[in-house]
Amino acid sequence: MAEVVTSIGGSILANLIIQALEKVGNLGGVKRELQVLESTVTMLHSVLDDAEEQQHQSSQIKDWVEKLKEAFYDLQDVLEEFNIEVMRRELRGDNHMIKEVRTFFSSSNQLAIELKMSRKIREVRERLKAIEAEKNFLLDKGPMNSQAQRGRRKREETHSFIREEYIIGRGNDKKNVMKFLLDMDVKEDVSILPIVGIGGLGKTALAKFVYNDEMISKHFDLKMWVCVSNDFDMIKIVKDIIVCVEKKEPNYNVMDRLQIELRKIIDGRRYLLVLDDLWDANLETWHNLKSLLMGGARGSKILITTRLPSVAKITSPAPPLRLEGLSESNSLDLLMQMAVPKEGGIQDPSMLAIGEEIVRKCSGVPLVIRTIGGLLFHKETKDEWLRFKDVELPKVSQRKDDIISILRLSYDNLPSHLKQCFTICSLFPKDYEIKKHTLVSLWMAEGFIQPSNSSKHLEDIAHEYFKDLLWSNFFQDLKKNPYTNEETCKMHDLMHDLACNVAGNRCWVARDDTNIINERTRHISYGSTFNLMDELPILRLKASALRTFLSTTRYWKERQQREPTREVDLGQLILNFKRLRILDLQGIKVEKVPRSMYKLKYLTYLDLSDNRTLKRLPNSITKLQSLQTLNLYHCNALEELPSDIKKLVNLRNLDIHYCSKLSHLPRGIGEISSLHRLTNFILPKDKARAKNYCGLGELKGLNNIRGELSIENLGYVTNAEVKCEDEILTGKHSLESLELSWDDFNTDDVVIDEVLFDRLKPPSNLQRLKIWQYKGESFPKWMMDSLVSFLPHLVDVSFGACKRCERLPPLDQLPCLKSLHIIRMPELEYIESDQSSPSSASFPSLLKLKIIGCEKLKAMPLTPHLEELNMFAANGALLINQMMLGLNKLKKLHMSDIKFLKCLPEEGFQSLTSLESLAIANCHQLTSLYQGMRHLSSLVDLSIRGCEELDISKDENSNILDFHGGLQSLRSVSIDHYLKVTSLPQWLLQARNIERLEIWYCRNLKDIPEQIEALQSLQNLVIYGCSSLTSFPEAMRRLTSLTHLCIKDCGELEESCKRQAGEDWDKIAHIPNIRFGSLI
């Protein structure tokens, strides 16, 4: 990489030389060489900061830095080789660490080792001396140390996560886009608006600004966001649109099936689709995609963001919205927002004048202004601002691309350790969603994370690095998956260009070509379109050069399109590149890992995830003593781990998530004290067959484990094992998520499980807890009596299949609890209430509650802040008497298979003024709806399905159900499987704003009344399986907004509606989209 030599030198001084000196023992020759080397490196390191900063001004300085970098890389290899050899010898013999360092070399080979290592170190040292002698140029004295400068002000944490909300100067642009989106007076059902502008202007930010507007959310039935980038892959785009709605990816790549699914989702519904960052669109491919999107209801809109006017011309005949740079005043406002602490503000008017001069250089580009503002944030005085304007900013003019050059200033001001962390990100494709955990592991594996003098773990330091880069705008779009809590981010296109610019030829990304890789390339990445050995020209590299081999395949389906990788090809790669630090082989479909893997002695990161036919790893892999990360995620054919895994003494990260056939962990896991991430701790079911298995006791010593942990098969722990263990988890203070699973083991000895659970008390900072298939009858005392004291930070709690438990612990006073799932607990009768704080409201933070399969549960504390309630196979008394009362914040209520539910009382509905979605399904004893439904003033979606005894047209007193013009917010109604429906109910015909009506399998429906004319907003009508319905009313002619009609399995009705020939054809001929036999 272009400018990381300072960091490499620092790493050599701070880590490798010190480690080597500590381990050298009696090798006097090596020790002397190391001491002289330390002096040489120290001298060179002292001038590197200035040399790196000034190398773009002089080719002579640049060449000198490049030579020094090559020598430092080779020196790294020599010192790491020495330290690895020492470590391996310490682990030989009877596997006990040899206490006396002087004995790790036998007398027979000590001299040979000393001569070999002395020679290698001397050769590199002499190279360094020669390079030092070549420095026949003078360097300008650099400014104050940037690290110290950065430390003078404490930044606001909120800047990292809400950057998109600080949009300045785009009021008119937003107004224009909003006008387009809300316009219903259009000629075509689907309209398209491209937003065009150069990179960094804020096209995506503007689209997000509008996309998240509350008015827009209410106006459209569907909202979908797809990032296209420079890969116009039809299948991928269609799948991404489907994922936006269905929340899961289709498991097939057949375009015909995908287009059917897409049309099923969007046809007849008013949707908003954003196609972000569209680059490569020709007329034919665009028309192919556009044809699939034209089935939306009138008023559907597509927003396209692109840098290219040619793309705008192809995608829309209408003029695009051309985004211009910010005005000088808006630019200044944005600069000050970024550069000046809110509480202080600018006190010196002359600093505003300096700011005005600075923003004139920024061309009104928000990304550039933010970046400059971030640099100025660390400068408090007028003199510092002047120096920046007069000294640092003029350097821009010496470079070709103004915008990249300005952004380069922010890179130049990074400390060296952050420079290399940023530059390695050039290996990821544009718009790639980077997993934060993966990025941190890569940085650690490359040796980029510098240990601090404090007791901080490397993972915590790496997290701080990430936050620094995020806050400085090098990363953006930070997201957290609500289900997995996995954090991801992206790089703006311009920042990606900057990373590639500074990486130079050190990083190479396999695209659609196979250009020759520069011999100085140290890091390469490849995607799904390349075969491991056949298409990648990696064999042209110098054998000693490559350090990183990274996969950037985005989707598992893409990996499946690859041909399987042969063991011999993998062996060839190992043979050619023995200096690899990072080897990423995810999804290459390898069935067997070569035994020769151990020859990669420098390897720190090995990713074998998603190799779903891989059954075992060679035991030789345990010779990789430098290995920090072993990723086996979703290797679901993997049957066992190497028996000597405890020899991986530097292993920090072991991911065995979804390794479903892995029956146990090998003995010795508990000795790997360096482990910081262990996703699953798997206890053996069959101890006789599981040789050298790892018992529960080994978990006790792994107190550095952080993040998530799942302990499996607790039901197979014996009484003897339980007696031997005391508290196992309390020392794991960095653990955030814990799952305890007993499996389906049938036992009558519930005492063992109860005693065991008592000894599994988690650490107090735990945020997520899942208890699954617990066999005891009661929960531990620490849960029942003091849960709030022991676990005050719980956010998410799940109980599942605890089939003997009659009561749950007091959860109602947990101050942070937002989500509670209670699933398949047939004996559960009530949830304890914490009476220790009678004045406190119950469940003060609970937003989501799901109760499934708890038919005896009759009472629980109130949930006044609830926004989402799902009840399936539950007791009707609980719903009517408690759950529906006082829920004035509830937005979603879905109930299914509720027993003893005959009617829904009015007082239950009165408080549901915020309810937006109501679904009632399979409530077989429900006979009527209540007049109270008129109180649902915010209801948008209503679905009623499979309630055979329900008469939706009458109230509890058998009177005609009339909501007196209520439910005016209702937009979508679905009625499914009702035998008692003979005509549309009166209350439905009064809901004048309904846009979508679906009637499924109402086989006794005989009449659609003339009053349907009142539904003048109706756009989509689906009638499916209504075999008694024979004709439409005359009023169908007057439904002028109706654009989509679907009829299937309706016998005579289909005959009467035949195109041009049926008796009812004239009544529906005005409807643009009519389908028989397929869904809208």
356 in any annotated domain: yes
Single residue among 262, 290, 322 that ends a domain in this structure = 322
CB atoms within 10 A of CB 172: 8
* Mode of pairing for the β-strands spanning 476-480 and 605-607: unpaired
Cβ atoms 894, 923 nearer than 8 A: no
209 in any annotated domain: yes
Over residues 1000-1016, the pLDDT tens digits come to: 998 889 989 999 999 99
The residue count for the chain: 1080
What percentage of the chain exceeds 70 in pLDDT? Answer: 84
Q: For residue 994, which of 297, 301, 300 has the smallest C-alpha distance?
A: 297
Q: Among 28-32, 115-119, 563-567, 734-738, name the one with the lowest average pLDDT.
A: 28-32
- Is the domain of 298 the same as that of 372? no
Cα of 101 vs its chain's centroid, Å:
46
DSSP SS3 for 448: coil
Intra-chain end-to-end CA distance of the chain, in Å: 53
Whole-angstrom distance, CA of residue 31 vs CA of residue 777: 65
Q: What are the residues facing 479 on neighbouring strands?
A: 488
- Given this model, what pLDDT does residue 406 score? 66
- Is the domain of 138 the same as that of 180? no
- Given this model, what pLDDT does residue 149 score? 39
Over residues 597-645, the pLDDT tens digits come to: 999 999 999 999 999 999 999 999 999 999 999 999 999 999 999 999 9
Structural domain count of the chain: 3
Whole-angstrom distance, CA of residue 532 vs CA of residue 525: 11
Whole-angstrom distance, CA of residue 1018 vs CA of residue 995: 4
Read off the pLDDT of each residue in 252-273 and give the average, rounded to a whole number.
Answer: 88
118: CB partners within 8 A, 6+ apart = 29, 30, 33
Read off the pLDDT of each residue in 142-151 and give the average, rounded to a whole number.
Answer: 41
Whole-angstrom distance, CA of residue 738 vs CA of residue 711: 8
Read off the pLDDT of each residue in 966-979 and give the average, rounded to a whole number.
Answer: 86
Q: What is the pTM of this model?
A: 0.79
Over residues 1026-1043, the pLDDT tens digits come to: 989 999 999 999 998 998
1072 in any annotated domain: no
Out of 31-40, 156-165, 711-720, 731-740, the most confident range is: 731-740
pLDDT at 749 over 70: no
Q: In Å, what is the CA distance from 488 to each residue of 164, 219, 484?
A: 16, 30, 11
- Is the domain of 306 the same as that of 210? yes
DSSP SS3 for 913: coil
806 in any annotated domain: no
Cβ atoms 423, 4 nearer than 8 A: yes
- Is the domain of 201 the same as that of 283? yes
- Given this model, what pLDDT does residue 425 score? 94
In which residue are the tokens 């499914």 written? Answer: 976
Single residue among 287, 322, 357 that ends a domain in this structure = 322
Average pLDDT, the chain: 82
- Given this model, what pLDDT does residue 102 score? 40
Over residues 351-382, the pLDDT tens digits come to: 888 888 888 877 788 888 888 888 888 788 88
Cβ atoms 1079, 1055 nearer than 8 A: no
- Is the domain of 318 the same as that of 172? yes
Q: Among 273-277, 650-654, 729-733, 873-877, name the one with the lowest average pLDDT.
A: 873-877
Single residue among 322, 357, 380 that ends a domain in this structure = 322
Whole-angstrom distance, CA of residue 321 vs CA of residue 301: 14
pLDDT at 1023 over 90: yes
Over residues 838-857, the pLDDT tens digits come to: 556 789 999 999 999 998 98
- Is the domain of 110 the same as that of 191? no
Structural domain containing residue 132: 5-142
- Is the domain of 195 the same as that of 94? no
- What CATH number does the domain containing 291 carry? 3.40.50.300
423 in any annotated domain: no
- Is the domain of 310 the same as that of 341? no
pLDDT band at 150 (very low <50, low <70, confident <90, very high): very low
